[in-house]
Homo-oligomer: A and B are copies of this chain.
Amino acid sequence: MALISIIGTGNMGQAIASVVTRGGNELELFGETDAATPVRGDIVVLAVPYPAVDQVLAQRPGQFDGRIVVDITNPLNFETFDSLTVPADSSAAALLAAKLPAARVLKAFNTTFAGTLAAGAVGPLTTTVLIAGDDADAKAALAGVVTAGGLKAIDAGSLRRARELEAIGFLQITLAAGEKISWTGGFGIVA
């Protein structure tokens, strides 16, 4: 059994928490008033909006060293819905990994809406979590938590693929915001 720390109690934090507990893994959930309580998890999920990530890092110096840290963000420009706020040849996950050289950073959960994580399904398909990262053991550990929670997991490759995962997340959000798809739908994966 793994201990999963989730920082952030919004829709995504709660949905990922439901996956963790469905799978029988241990959960600690941190809200905004818990900044003074150190994380202890084998896996730490940063379930905060992209602009809040740096504040979490500043509040918790050194706490992520040696841990698996999961970036779930979609760094959209929410004023225009027309671009990301990270460099086109990089990703939010790559920027985070550069700030946390002693952590094993993964990108995951950014291509699945909260509703499909909580429900476990995208229409007729079981929800699939795409996981990108440079550490195979870290990816396997997170995949274990995901599959124990009743979802599917796919290793999407190295952390460089976070760029593509963030493009998918970006497009999916624009489609839902434009009412082309529902917030309970989106991209499903047929293996």
Residues in chain A within 8 A of chain B (CB atoms) = 82-83, 87-89, 122-125, 130, 154-158, 160-161, 163-165, 167-168, 170-171, 174-175, 178, 180-182, 185-191
Instruction: Tell me the nearest residue of chain B to A81, going by C-beta.
Output: B157
Residues on B with C-beta less than 8 A from A87 are 88
Q: Is the CB of A190 within 8 A of B180?
A: no
Residues on B with C-beta less than 8 A from A168 are 164, 167-168, 171
The docked-state distance in angstroms from the alpha carbon of A101 to that of B166 is 30
Residues on B with C-beta less than 8 A from A157 are 171, 174, 178
Residues on B with C-beta less than 8 A from A187 are 187-190
Interface centre among A156, A158, A168 (most CB of B within 10 A): A168
Q: Is the CB of A188 within 8 A of B191?
A: no
Residues on B with C-beta less than 8 A from A174 are 156-157, 161
Q: Is the CB of B82 within 8 A of A160?
A: yes
With A122-B190, A123-B190, A190-B125 as contacts: A171 and B156 at CB distance below 8 Å: yes
Q: Is the CB of B191 within 8 A of A189?
A: no
Instruction: Tell me the nearest residue of chain B to A123, going by C-beta.
Output: B190
